[in-house]
Amino acid sequence: MEVKIARTAGFCWGVRRTVDQVMQVADQAVGQVVTLGPIIHNPQAVARMREKGVGTVNAIAEVAAGTTVVVRTHGAVKTELESAEARGLAVVDGTCPYVKYPQAMAQRLSKQGYHLVIVGDANHAEVKGVVSYAEGPCTVVKPGGAVPDIKDKKVAVIAQTTCIGADFERLVGALALRHKEVRAVNTICNDTEERQADARSLAAEVDAVVVVGGKNSANTRHLAEICRAIQPRTWHVETEAELCPEWFDGCKVVGLSAGASTPDWVVEGVAGWLRGLEGQPVGAA
């Protein structure tokens, strides 16, 4: 059985940058180091950082004096950053630059009088952070959700960086028919679009797909959804411990994709398990 790994599987540039920052701070800081929320949506990576002595807090109010705070890849709510500054805490901003873009656009567009619409998950850390930068009316629409009934004539639409392009396009088109002015700013990360395109191509070429990454990772879940729509034999796992040999009965080629927050060593662990099936009976083709 052949294992094909997607070209973009594993850490994206932004996540790798933040993880490297945390490790560097952990090695150099004199006092305690904490991240404001899980640094990335991957339990294995968070556990490894915990072994380095890096803790996790949910709010600045939980942080003791003298602690260094690292802002996670997804960014933070503006008031939390202001609270850290007011307390004089050392803050290392690990926000991905691609996440800073929708934050900046949320502030700019709302200042220009637009009713801001964000396509994304309202409960996701990134979206909460982006919403906090809006200085006017703001509506979050779940991908694939109902078109909101907005009374304002001017509407601006941005997206969570991991949003599927078709969901963003659909909402922009629908709003354009309802409002006098609709401004669309594509804030979807280029890596996300490339990763999703790779996943589509991979799913069309294989007999089964394994998507690796945290169950609470939005971009990983989206990859699994994309693959499953093309190849029904798609499984989303966090590690090789969840894999079952019978899933691959009759398979000659298995595809492997991974979310942007999935560490390389986790991807390799799954790839190694799959390669271990080579030469073993996996059912009739």
Active site residues: 126
| 123 class by beta-carbon count within 10 Å (0-12 exposed, 13-18 middle, 19+ buried) | exposed
What type of residue is 12? C
What type of residue is 87? R
Give the dihedral of Cα atoms 160, 255, 44, 64; nearest 10 deg.
Answer: -10
Residue in 67, 64, 68, 74 with CA at minimum distance from that of residue 38: 74
Q: Please list the alpha-helical segments (H only) found in the chain.
A: 13-28, 43-51, 78-86, 97-111, 125-132, 165-176, 190-203, 218-230, 264-275
Residue in 195, 199, 196, 169 with CA at minimum distance from that of residue 184: 169
Half-sphere exposure of 127 (CA within 13 A, CB side): 22
Q: 182 forms bridges with which residues in the sheet? A: 155
Q: Give the DSSP H or E segment for 236.
A: strand 234-237
